[in-house]
Structures are given as C-alpha cells and as structure tokens.
Chains A and B, each alone.
Chain A
Amino acid sequence: MEAPALNYLNNGHGAASWLLTKDHKRIALLYLASITAFFALGGFFAMMIRLELLTPAGDVTSPEMYNRMFTMHGVVMVFFFLIPSIPAVLGNFLIPIMIGAKDLAFPRINLLSWYIYVLGGLFTLVAALSGGVDTGWTFYTPYSTAAANSHVITAAVGIFITGFSSILTGLNFIVTIHRMRAPGMTWFRLPLFVWAHYATSLIMILGTPVIAITILMVAAERALHLGIFDPALGGDPVLFQHLFWFYSHPAVYIMILPAMGVISEVVQAFSRKNIFGYSFIAFSSLAIAVIGFLVWGHHLFVAGQSTYAGLVFSVLSFMVAVPSAIKVFNWTATIYKGSVSLDSPMLYAFGFLGLFTIGGLTGLFLGAMGLDIHVHDTYFVVAHFHYIMVGGAIMGYLGGLHYWWPKISGRLYSEPWAKLSAVIVFVGFNLTFFPQFIAGYIGMPRRYHVYPPEFQVLNVLSSAGASVLAVGYVLPLIYLTYSIFAGAKSPADPWGAKGLEWEIPSPPPTENFGITPIVTHGTHQYAPRIEKKEVGVV
C-alpha cells in the first residue's frame, strides 16, 4: 500500500504551522535545525583553536581571545549541541512512536522546551558576539565571580535558561514512558533506545536543577557581591566545584546514554539478530545513571579533596565502567554470528564501538588517582573526553540520524556518499584526537595558546585531522539535505528492521497510529523467541 498522502510534513504549511506545532515530530525537526546551527558555531570555535595550535607561537589569536575561543567552544558544544542532540531530536521523534503513542504526554511543554532552548541560545549568542567568556566552560570560582573581565553573567543566564529546556524534555520523556505505552507494551518489551532515554531523563531531572542553582549563585556573587564561593567573602571555591561536577559529570552520561540507545537499535537491525542480553543492557543504562551520580569527585583529585574521599570516588569511577563494559560486550555478542550488513548506520556503530572503548578505558586511567595527578589538566584529558563525546556521542547521533533519516524525511539518501562520510569522520576523528593522548601524556597542558616546539608535530597532525573531520561533518549536511528534494521515496521499512516505527509509513502521519496498536511480544524480534507463557491481548 502506498503511503497516505497526508503525513506530518505536508499536514500544514507556513511558518506558523511549524512554530506553533505541538507535533513531537515537527518539534524534533525544529530542534534538528537549531542544534545543527549551534554545532556549526561550536565547530567554528574549534577550528579557531586548531588554527592557533598549528604553530607553537601565539600568532592567530591573542591569549585573551584564545581563552574565549575554547570557552565558547565548550559552552556551545556541551549545552547547546551534545546535551539536546539525540534526546531532543531522535528521542523526541521516536519515543512516542516506539511505544505506540500519538505524542509525548505534554505536547505544549515540548514546544515550550524548544522556545526555552532558543531563548537560552540567544543569550549565549549575545555573549559570544559581544566578546565571549574566558572562564572555560567550567566557570570555576573565584575567577568567574571576582576576576574574569568578560560576559560571564550573560552566558551563565543562557545556560541557566537552556537547563530548563533539558529538564522539561526529561520530564516529558519520563511521564510519557510511564503513562503513554500502548496496550501490551510492557517495560521489558520496550526498545532499548527507550530504556536509554529513560535513564537519560532521570539524570536530566535530577542533575540539571543543581547546575541551575549553582549558576544562579555564581551570578549572584558576581553581580551583587553576595559571598558564597569567593574566599575573600568567606566562601569556599571547592564547594562550587562539587556542585558544578555533581551535574556536569552526570551530564556526560546525558550525552552518551542516548548514543548507546541508538547503537543498541542499529546493531540489532544490521546484524539481523535479537539483542544479546536485553535486560542487562536495559539495567546497565539505569546503573550508569545511578552510579554516574556518585563519581563527580574524580574531577577534584587535585583540588584539595581529602585522600579518603578521593579513594571512594576513584573506586566508584571504576564501578561505573562495569555497566558500560556490559553494553560493549553485549553489542559485540549481538554482532557475533549475525548476518551483518555494512550500511552507513552500521559503519557509525562500528566506529562508536571502537572509539567509545578507547574513551572508556582511558577514563579508567584518569579515575586512578596516581595517574590522574600526572595527566591532570593535560591534553590526555582533552583526548579522553573527546573520544567519549565526539567519538561516542556524535558517532551515535550521526548513526541514528542516518538510520532513521528515511523515516524522518520519507526519502532515501545516497548510500555511497554516506559510507564515505562515515569513513572520513572515523579517520578524521582519530587523526585529530589520538595525537592529543600522546601530547598530553608527555606533558602538554590544556588551555594554553602557546606551547614548546617539540609538541608541534602532534599538533599539526591534530589540526590536519580536524580539517578532515570537518569535511566528514559537512558531507552529511549536503547529501541529507539533497535527499529531501531529490532522494527516492522511502518505503515504510527500508532496512528490513523491526520496531513499531518501521510499521507506519515514512514519513509518519501526524497521529502516528490511526488506531492505538496492541503489542503482543517484544519489539525488535529478529528471530522467534519461545515465551514462557502466551500473553493475551491486555
């Protein structure tokens, strides 16, 4: 049967039909457009950094300007790209469809969250255009409250506002997953993508308010000289670091858990196999969310934290690696003896598996107190977290975008170009960030705009890799956009994949399902599974 003429894309035209929409799928596209713009902005700051570091001398930017570049790069990429990327775009689009619902529980709040995101983004843009912030994305006190001569408050207000968009998205997801599942869609029939987003949402609602109040205290201290963190006013700057990392470490899991959800889906679809260890993957998402809240102290090993606190945080940091490793092993076991096809989403998934493993293992190095003191604040740390955030989260995001693009747009993109760009991203990424492990290990500190000449070879490699990576990121923008206008129409299920989203037309109708589906077995079953007892229709 042909796709019905009316779908969510052609159901209503004009700016108002988009800007006032309550359809989760259209809101996902609003987010897609805005996070892409912020990704380009953050990428621009990254290119400025790599350009400056091409030579040992400070020749492109002044030291002050360099500080603003890496600060704005961090702020934009973390708060305006990585945190909303997969949840607000793919999660928004897919979660209601995957659980058999017509929309998220609160469509108006969903739209509100996008406007809040845009408002926060505008504040950050104003801060950037009027000269930027130079504190680092970490806003450490007392520098940020007493010394920094830049637009700290404007940027802080932007982050504060955007935090509420994240909170509202998390709230919407939690209520939706609890209350909107179709009849028969039990918890253990949920796609693992949904489990990953449930765990992510827990972090969003529990962590984000803490960074909000912390930023508020920083702004109050800076604007009104209320003494909270500044030692001159009787405060303790280490308390700021505790509060900041209480959110900002779990925030890393806000970035990586949804990517893990994407990988769970993609690995099944392109291995043509049921996932290995469904419940282990589901519960490891929750375990990461819970243990992830107890590891923040590993950012304070050299900040005057007591040795005993350091020991406990070190052990807990090792523990959070266990559920991550469970996932990696289970994905590998899923691929084992599968009927693997190397379509572009699967290439991204393979990239994710390798890069996330390297990022995760070097995280264990950093969780060990002795080694952390050696490499603290060096490029080793920079390389480690880029392997997680870029090698993990962005690979997952791109993989997911390619996997669901035919569903989202109703069009097929050019597979050869997609494969090429996946390879370019992988090569460019490694060329950019692997040399940084070496540079950091032999002592190159982060956040300096000049460096001794012996580091130059590694930095040239890194800057060259960044140019390759940029090509890899621009290519999808071109061929995905091109597919909207000239791509072949996609069937409902172009991959032969499983899941409710592949059973409705591409692009989906506004209501998703004409009749609420009734689910009688786990989604994503690529092979029959013997159930202990037959489950009836509700």
Chain B
Amino acid sequence: MSDGHTPSEHYPGPVHGVPVHAEPGYAGLSGQVHGHVPHHPKLQHHFDDMDQQVEASTLGMWVFLVTEIMFFGGLFMAYLVYRSAQPDAFQEASAHLSIFWGGLNTAVLIFSSLTMALAVRAAQTSLPPKVQVGWIVATMFLGSVFLGVKVIEYSDKFRESIVPGPYFNAAMWTHPTGVEMFYSLYFIMTGLHALHMIIGIALMAVIAWMAWRRQFDSSYYTPVEVSGLYWHFVDIVWIFLFPLLYLIGRHYGEGH
C-alpha cells in the first residue's frame, strides 16, 4: 500500500491514512480483514457495521423526503398564489368538494399511519411474521380504501362536468376561469398524491413479502422503518391537502 510518498517524509507528526495497523476492535470492522466479529448477514460490504448502515439508510430516506417536500412545495406555492389572487372563485369551487368523502379519507389515512407504526413496532420487537405481515396488509388495505374513495370523488366530478378542459361546464359557475384553475390544481395535487399512495402500497407489498420470509427482527428492520417514514410522509401531505382544498373558506357560508 505504501508508495514512497507517505506524508511521513515531509511531516514528522502522526501519519494519516496509512493503514499500517488498525486498533484492536477495528480489525473486524474494516475491509478485507474479516476477523473476529461475525457480520450480520444483512451488512453490505461497504459499511463498517450495522449502526452505520442503519443510520445511512434512515438519513437517506429523510433526505429523500426533503426533496419530496420541495416537490409538493412548488405545487402548494402555485395554489396559494392563485388562491390569494382569486379567493372568491376558489371558494366557489371548493364548496363543490365533498367534505364527507374528504373527511372520511383523512380518517382512513390517519388510521393507516397507526397500523404502519404498529407494523414497524412488530418488526422492531421481533413479533412473529404473521403479526408483522398482518399490520402491513392492514396498512395496504387502508391505502386502497383511500384510493377507492378517491375514485368515487373523481367519477362524481367527471359526471358533473367539473373537469378542466373541453368538457368543463362553465355555465354553472359565477367565476368559471378561476374555478377551472382550482380544479386543474385539484386534479394535479390529488393525482400526484394518489400516485405516491400507489407507490407506497407497492412498496408495502414488497415489505410484506420480506416480512413473510422472516427477514425482520429486532436486529434488522430498516426496510420496514424507512418505508414507514415514506408512508407517514404521504399521509402528512394529505393532512395539508385536505384543509387547503376542502375546508378553507367554508365558514363564509353559501351566501358570501
């Protein structure tokens, strides 16, 4: 490894980076010296130990969620700008969304966050695969209920011609341009959110399969945990979408 250019020639102090000898206790952690400490079967070769691997995966998911916040952030910004520019039109449009279906979906998603948390807990405490899979499938089920309700809401809108584009029924509105824009943003925002839900459910299917294969216990449950972070994030996006799209301005009443 030494090449005749080690810093020691120029610098009498401690030599860095020269792998002459690792401290005891490091020998098992580093590189090709697969020594005394047995590796966890899930440890990837480029990590020193499981702690490092878990920390990297978790931080990676948090950083990814930051990018997701910025992704949805652009949409929220557009929505807020136009909402403040034409509050009457947005309120008129918003009044045609169903608080019942929206509220139900909010409850369903919050409940799915609970089952998700219980799935992580089950893996973390080494509960039997059946229990882990049970909570994960429950989460997938609730996610599917959410999507089903979304289908009902979308088809209602299509039936009533409240869809931007050539089939938009401008005659039924006081501020047709603003209303059409509201529904443009509504379909983009909830559509992207639904896409994230679909990805989440697919992710959960993989996790459920891994759990069934007995891959998770208290020594290794990172995939469940980081997928859970993603699931909670998608829930939280809805927690912002619901009041923005369905609730703001309702208290002005019909006569406003």
Give the CA-CA distance A520 to B86 in the complex, in Å: 62
Report if A103 contacts B (CB, 8 A): yes
Give the CA-CA distance A220 to B32 in the complex, in Å: 52
Judge whether A105 and B56 touch: CB under 8 Å: yes
Q: From residue 396 to 451 of chain A, which have CB atoms closer than 8 A to chain B? A: none
Would you give the 0/1 interface string for A15-33, flagging 1 where the beta carbon is closer than 8 Å to chain B? 0000000000000000000
Pick the 3 closest A-B CB pairs, nearest first: A492-B3, A226-B184, A213-B74
Q: From residue 29 to 87 of chain B, which have CB atoms closer than 8 A to chain A? A: 29-33, 45-48, 52, 55-56, 59-60, 63-64, 66-68, 70-75, 77-78, 81-82, 85-86
Q: In the assembled complex, which residues on chain B have CB atoms less than 8 Å from the CB atom of A102?
A: 31, 45-46
Q: In the assembled complex, which residues on chain B have CB atoms less than 8 Å from the CB atom of A525?
A: 7, 11
Task: Write 30 A-B pairs (CB below 8 A) sorted by A numbering.
Answer: A1-B1, A1-B2, A100-B17, A106-B56, A171-B63, A174-B63, A175-B63, A180-B52, A180-B56, A210-B70, A210-B71, A213-B72, A216-B188, A227-B177, A227-B180, A236-B81, A236-B85, A492-B3, A496-B5, A503-B3, A504-B1, A514-B31, A514-B32, A515-B32, A518-B16, A518-B19, A521-B13, A521-B16, A525-B11, A527-B11
State how many angstroms separate the Cβ of A99 from the closest Cβ of chain B. 11
Give the CA-CA distance A344 to B26 in the complex, in Å: 41
Would you give the 0/1 interface string for B145-178, flagging 1 where the beta carbon is closer than 8 Å to chain A? 0000000000000000000111000000000011
Chain B interface size band reads 35 or more
In the complex, which of the residues B3, B19, B56 contacts A513, with contact meaning CB atoms closer than 8 Å? B19
Judge whether B78 and A179 touch: CB under 8 Å: no
Tell whether A1 pairs with B3 under 8 Å between CB atoms, given A228-B181, A517-B16, A525-B11: yes
Q: In the assembled complex, which residues on chain B have CB atoms less than 8 Å from the CB atom of A107?
A: 46
Name the residue of chain B whose CB is nearest to the CB of A234: B177
Judge whether B180 and A184 touch: CB under 8 Å: no
Report if B12 contacts A (CB, 8 A): yes
Give the CA-CA distance A515 to B71 in the complex, in Å: 40
Judge whether B31 and A213 touch: CB under 8 Å: no
Known contacts A228-B184, A228-B185, A513-B19; 8 additional CB pairs below 8 A are A102-B45, A105-B56, A171-B67, A210-B74, A213-B73, A225-B166, A235-B181, A525-B11
Judge whether B178 and A234 touch: CB under 8 Å: yes
Q: In the assembled complex, which residues on chain A have CB atoms less than 8 Å from the CB atom of B177?
A: 227, 233-234
Chain A interface size band reads 35 or more
In the complex, which of the residues A183, A184, A243, A504 contacts B77, with contact meaning CB atoms closer than 8 Å? A243
Give the CA-CA distance A261 to B63 in the complex, in Å: 23
Judge whether B178 and A206 touch: CB under 8 Å: no
State how many angstroms separate the Cβ of A239 from the closest Cβ of chain B. 6
In the complex, which of the residues A100, A213, A234, A523 contacts B181, with contact meaning CB atoms closer than 8 Å? A234
Give the CA-CA distance A527 to B10 in the complex, in Å: 8
Tell whether A515 pairs with B30 under 8 Å between CB atoms, given A179-B52, A492-B5, A520-B15: yes
State how many angstroms separate the Cβ of B227 from the closest Cβ of chain A. 15
Report if B253 contacts A (CB, 8 A): no
Report if B248 contacts A (CB, 8 A): no
State how many angstroms separate the Cβ of B79 from the closest Cβ of chain A. 10
Give the CA-CA distance A236 to B80 in the complex, in Å: 13
Judge whether B60 and A498 touch: CB under 8 Å: no
State how many angstroms separate the Cβ of B52 from the closest Cβ of chain A. 6
Q: In the assembled complex, which residues on chain B have CB atoms less than 8 Å from the CB atom of A76?
A: none
Report if A511 contacts B (CB, 8 A): yes
In the complex, which of the residues A178, A225, A514, A516 contacts B1, with contact meaning CB atoms closer than 8 Å? A514
Q: In the assembled complex, which residues on chain A have CB atoms less than 8 Å from the CB atom of B73?
A: 209-210, 213
In the complex, which of the residues A103, A209, A521 contacts B14, with contact meaning CB atoms closer than 8 Å? A521
Judge whether B17 and A503 touch: CB under 8 Å: yes
Give the CA-CA distance A493 to B86 in the complex, in Å: 65
Tell whether A239 pairs with B7 under 8 Å between CB atoms, given A210-B71, A523-B16: no
Tell whether A517 pairs with B3 under 8 Å between CB atoms, given A105-B56, A175-B56: no
Judge whether B19 and A217 touch: CB under 8 Å: no
Give the CA-CA distance A106 to B16 in the complex, in Å: 26
Report if B22 contacts A (CB, 8 A): yes
Q: In the assembled complex, which residues on chain B have CB atoms less than 8 Å from the CB atom of A243?
A: 74, 77-78
Report if A214 contacts B (CB, 8 A): yes
Report if B18 contacts A (CB, 8 A): yes
In the complex, which of the residues B10, B14, B31 contacts A520, with contact meaning CB atoms closer than 8 Å? B14
Report if B23 contacts A (CB, 8 A): yes
Judge whether B71 and A212 touch: CB under 8 Å: yes
Judge whether B67 and A205 touch: CB under 8 Å: yes
Judge whether A224 and B165 touch: CB under 8 Å: yes
Report if B187 contacts A (CB, 8 A): yes
Q: In the assembled complex, which residues on chain B have CB atoms less than 8 Å from the CB atom of A206?
A: 66-67, 70
Report if B6 contacts A (CB, 8 A): yes
Report if A500 contacts B (CB, 8 A): yes
Judge whether B5 and A225 touch: CB under 8 Å: no
Judge whether B32 and A511 touch: CB under 8 Å: yes
Give the CA-CA distance A503 to B29 in the complex, in Å: 21
Give the CA-CA distance A234 to B1 in the complex, in Å: 67
Q: In the assembled complex, which residues on chain A have CB atoms less than 8 Å from the CB atom of B32?
A: 511, 514-515
Give the CA-CA distance A276 to B60 in the complex, in Å: 34
Judge whether A502 and B67 touch: CB under 8 Å: no
Tell whether A528 pairs with B13 under 8 Å between CB atoms, given A210-B71, A227-B180: yes
Judge whether B33 and A515 touch: CB under 8 Å: yes
Give the CA-CA distance A527 to B82 in the complex, in Å: 59
Report if A147 contacts B (CB, 8 A): no
Judge whether A511 and B60 touch: CB under 8 Å: no
Name the residue of chain B whose CB is nearest to the CB of A206: B70
Name the residue of chain B whose CB is nearest to the CB of A494: B5
Give the CA-CA distance A206 to B46 in the complex, in Å: 27
Report if A101 contacts B (CB, 8 A): yes
Give the CA-CA distance A504 to B2 in the complex, in Å: 8
Judge whether A514 and B67 touch: CB under 8 Å: no
Q: In the assembled complex, which residues on chain B have CB atoms less than 8 Å from the CB atom of A366?
A: none
Judge whether B5 and A493 touch: CB under 8 Å: yes
Name the residue of chain B whose CB is nearest to the CB of A100: B17
Judge whether A213 and B75 touch: CB under 8 Å: yes
Tell whether A517 pairs with B18 under 8 Å between CB atoms, given A213-B72, A239-B78: yes
Q: In the assembled complex, which residues on chain B have CB atoms less than 8 Å from the CB atom of A105?
A: 56, 60
Judge whether A503 and B164 touch: CB under 8 Å: no
Tell whether A175 pairs with B60 under 8 Å between CB atoms, given A208-B67, A233-B177, A503-B5: yes
Would you give the 0/1 interface string for A369-393, flagging 1 where the beta carbon is closer than 8 Å to chain B? 0000000000000000000000000
Q: From residue 188 to 209 of chain B, which have CB atoms closer than 8 A to chain A? A: 188, 192
Judge whether A228 and B56 touch: CB under 8 Å: no
Q: In the assembled complex, which residues on chain A have CB atoms less than 8 Å from the CB atom of B188?
A: 216-217, 220, 226, 228
Name the residue of chain A whose CB is nearest to the CB of B30: A516
In the complex, which of the residues A101, A207, A224, A520 contacts B16, with contact meaning CB atoms closer than 8 Å? A520
